[in-house]
Amino acid sequence: MAPKNDKYTYRLTWSEDDNEYVGLCAEFPSLSWLADTPEKALKGIRKLVADVFLDMAKNGEPIPEPISSKHFSGKFMVRVPPDVHRKLAIQAAESGVSLNRIASSKLSQ
């Protein structure tokens, strides 16, 4: 059983190495579940997350907050090498837009 009001971020993917589907949870990156169908992989990872969630709660460990519950301001700082900064500034100037607009455009690709 998944935690009550389970709002965690799940993803399913195919593993060529295992020849099975893999269920993943972004908030618990060390966990995964292999299964022969996507449905079983999702069910398995949700059950595993629930078990770990209960164990963490029982031991008083901090439980990851669901990404969907977090507030994002839309701002974050990223460090790049000076030559990349210069290249982006030139692209922005030549395009007549802000450096922020160029960086945002490239990140959203």
Q: Where are the domains of the chain?
A: 10-68, 73-107
On whether the CB atoms of residues 25 and 33 are closer than 8 A, the answer is no
Q: What are the mean pLDDT values of the chain's consecutive 10-residue runs (109 residues total)? A: 77 98 97 98 96 95 93 92 94 92 90
Residue 26 has a pLDDT of: 96
Say what the pLDDT of residue 83 is: 96
Quick check: pTM over 0.75? no
